[in-house]
Amino acid sequence: MFWRIFAYFSAHSLAATLGWFLGAWPGLFGAWALTGAVWFVWESVRGARLLAWVREPSHETTPNLRGFWAELLGRIQRLLRERDQRIAESEGRLAEFLAAIQASPHGVVLLDSDARIEWCNQIAAVQFGFDAQRDLQQHIGNLVRDPVFLAYFASADIQQSVTIAGRNSTASRPVRLAVQLHPYGEGRKLLLANDVTAVEQADAMRRDFVANVSHEIRTPLTVLSGFIETLQTLNLSDAERKRYLALMAQQSQRMQNLVSDLLTLSRLEGSPLPGVGEWIPVASLMAQCEQEARALAALLPQLQHQLQFEVANPASLSGVHSELFSAWSNLINNAIRYSPAAGKIVVSWAVLPDGCGEFAVQDSGPGIAPEHLPRLTERFYRVDRSRSRDTGGTGLGLAIVKHVVQRHGAELSIHSSLGQGARFVIHFPSERILQTQSERLAA
Ligand code: ADP
């Protein structure tokens, strides 16, 4: 700076001296003023070049300046570099922050003070049916038209969440969203949406299950307490007393069956999946099932069922013995219970050419109408309630079979039509089937 002032005044002095020699006072002032004007124009041009560059800074157009202007340019460049760095850092942080919200399992929508969408993550876009780009700046009330949501949005009380139907919700595949608004900043709102479909379904299932179990227990309990009252109050003959006691035993057996099936189901749900380790000879499992089936048939001599057990290829099956026995015997018991007098029941095992195993129970019973087939393995689902109860059914047998089958990586298929009998087949994967050399030759 000192040198600039020194040079400025030196130029004036030189011009003034020159002007003096040329024409005394007028020359002196003329030369002095002209030097100042030239100086002013020269400096203005340099300042304008710098100002133009500051307005649109770029590496390619950096002006070539010297001295004072070069230092000013350098300092401005440094400030701009620092500013750009700070912007890049905060943009990076914002991008990371938005990426974190994108990764959230919940829908997130940022609303400005006029309730217009400023940003939303992909989950929210799917949940509400937004287009994450096109719908920016749209009023939320124009896009989420659910009356429950609109009433909630308009109300002053947003402390609690409300549950609304998701965009893709249909009667057969409902989608339920719990949404809540959280105010922040100056009049802005954060809208959080949580998919609670599974939770609501689990709740409904639990409620249904408790209602079903209570109903199943209440019926035999009512019958039992009725008999107890009769025995206590009436003077009964020995024969009548015997008959009542037999009926009471039947009801308590029904409750025992129910509790036992419930315990089996909860054990199946709570225990780890069976690995491929324990090998069970199919022939011995079939023999055990046959023994139990014949014992059950003997209890129903009036039905005169014809039972047939066939093992086409001996093999060993990997799994949990008690579970497999429970599933197989459930299918056989159903066939015996639902077949009318002189029914024919064929229980078979075969190793298929692809190495998979097939266990099948075929009966000549009443069969099942096609509309019932998809729901048959649901807990407490019965086609014929009275027949199921009369024969000691709990409505849980096929649910147990389904669980065991799934746990063993197998598949259950049911083939039946009304009046044509039924065929229940369990298809085991080849990894669970083992055949020794001699077993293969014996087949
Ligand atoms: P349940 O204890 O009532 O037999 P399950 O879960 O074992 O319960 O079976 C569900 C329903 O499927 C039964 O109530 C019955 O209506 C039907 N069902 C099962 N097996 C047969 C079969 N072999 N023939 C005809 N209907 C059957």
pLDDT in tens, the chain (443 residues): 667 677 777 777 777 777 777 766 666 677 777 777 888 888 888 888 888 888 888 877 888 877 888 888 889 889 988 999 999 999 999 999 989 989 999 999 999 999 999 999 999 999 999 988 899 999 999 999 999 999 999 987 888 899 999 988 888 889 999 999 999 998 999 999 999 999 999 999 999 999 999 999 998 999 999 999 999 998 889 999 999 999 999 999 999 999 999 999 999 988 888 887 789 999 999 999 999 999 999 988 888 999 999 999 999 999 999 999 999 999 999 999 999 999 999 999 999 999 999 999 999 999 999 999 999 999 999 998 877 777 778 999 999 999 999 999 999 999 999 999 999 999 999 999 998 877 777 66
Q: Which atom of ligand 1 is nearest to the CA of 394?
A: 2
- pLDDT at residue 275, as a whole number: 80
For ligand 1, say whether the CB of 400 is within 6 Å of any of its atoms: no
* 8 A C-beta contact, residue 379 and residue 392: no
Q: Which two tokens stand for residue 358?
A: 């097939």
| Burial profile 380-403: b = 16 or more Cβ within 10 angstroms, e = fewer | bbbbeeeebbeeebbbbbbbbbbb
Ligand 1 and 384: CB distance under 6 A:
yes
DSSP-derived secondary structure for 408-429: TT-EEEEEE-TTS-EEEEEEE-
**402, two tokens:** 């389904």
Q: Are 280 and 250 in a shared domain? A: no
Residues 320 and 421 in one domain: yes
395 lines ligand 1 (CB under 6 A): yes
- Best residue among 305, 376, 380 to mutate for probing ligand 1's pocket (most ligand atoms within 8 Å of CB) is 376
Whether residue 116 contacts residue 137, with contact meaning beta carbons closer than 8 Å, is answered with yes
Q: What's the total number of domains in the chain?
A: 4
**What are the tokens at 335?**
């066939």
- C-alpha 126/C-alpha 134 separation (Å) is 14
Q: What is the CATH number of the domain that holds 229?
A: 1.10.287.130
| 373 Cα to the center of ligand 1, angstroms | 10
Distance CA 219, CA 225 (A): 10
The answer to whether the CB of 414 is under 6 A from ligand 1 is no
Give the integer Cα–Cα distance in Å for 124 and 167: 10
Question: Are 45 and 178 found together in one domain?
Answer: no
The per-type count for the chain, helices as H runs and strands as E runs, is 12, 13
Q: How far apart are the first and last CA of the chain?
A: 109
365 lines ligand 1 (CB under 6 A): yes
C-alpha span between 172 and 122 (Å, rounded): 24
Ligand 1 pocket residue status of 181, Cβ below 6 Å: no
Cα(259) to ligand 1 centroid in Å equals: 18
343 lines ligand 1 (CB under 6 A): no
Give the per-residue pLDDT at 195. Answer: 94
Whether residue 397 has its Cβ less than 6 Å from ligand 1? yes
**Is the minimum distance from the CB of 361 to ligand 1 under 6 angstroms?**
no
The protein residue whose alpha carbon is closest to atom 10 in ligand 1 is: 382
Tokens 């090998």 label which residue?
A: 279
Measured in Å, residue 214 CA sits from the centre of ligand 1 at: 20
C-alpha span between 63 and 48 (Å, rounded): 10
**Tally of residues, the chain:** 443
Distance, CA of 331 to CA of 260 (rounded, Å): 17
Look at ligand 1, atom 3, and give the residue with the nearest C-alpha: 395
By most ligand atoms within 8 Å of CB, the mutation choice from 334, 364, 380, 416 for ligand 1 is: 334
pTM over 0.95: no
Residue written as token pair 């799994």 = 319
Question: 171: domain range?
Answer: 104-195
Residue 79 contacts residue 158 (beta carbons within 8 Å): no
Question: What are residue 316's phi and psi, to 5 degrees?
Answer: -115, 145
Cβ neighbours of residue 218 closer than 8 Å, sequence gap 6 or more: none
35 CB near ligand 1 (under 6 Å): no
Sole residue written with tokens 């047939």: 308
366 lines ligand 1 (CB under 6 A): yes
DSSP 377: T
- Say if residue 169 is in the same domain as residue 183: yes
Closest atom of ligand 1 to 389 CA is: 3
Do 313 and 422 reside in the same domain of the chain?
yes
Residue whose CA lies nearest to ligand 1 atom number 8 = 395
Taking the C-alpha atoms of 48, 50, 56 and 58 in order, what is their torsion angle to the nearest 10 degrees? 140
**Considering only CA atoms, which residue is closest to atom 20 of ligand 1?**
334
Burial readout 310-326 (b: 16 or more C-beta within 10 A, e: otherwise): ebebbbbbbbbeebbbb
- Picking from 74, 98, 122, the residue at the C-terminal end of a domain is 98
The protein residue with its alpha carbon nearest to ligand 1, atom 7, reads: 397
Do 430 and 323 share a structural domain?
A: yes
3-state secondary structure of 363: strand
Q: Whose CA is nearest to atom 2 of ligand 1?
A: 393
Q: What is the DSSP string of 222-272?
A: HHHHHHHHHHHHS---HHHHHHHHHHHHHHHHHHHHHHHHHHHHHHHHHSP
pLDDT at site 443 = 62
Q: Do 240 and 149 share a structural domain? A: no
**Domain check: are 165 and 223 in the same one?**
no
| 303 and 428 co-located in one domain | yes
Residues 62 and 140 in one domain: no
Which tokens belong to 228? 């107890």
| Closest-lying ligand 1 atom to the alpha carbon of residue 385 | 14
- Please give the structure tokens belonging to residue 33: 């003023």
Task: Supply the DSSP symbol for 114.
Answer: T
Nearest ligand 1 atom, CA 424: 23
Of 68, 98, 128, the position where a domain reaches its end is: 98
CA–CA gap between residue 331 and residue 382 (Å, rounded) = 15
- Which of the listed residues 214, 239, 271 is the one where a domain comes to its end? 271
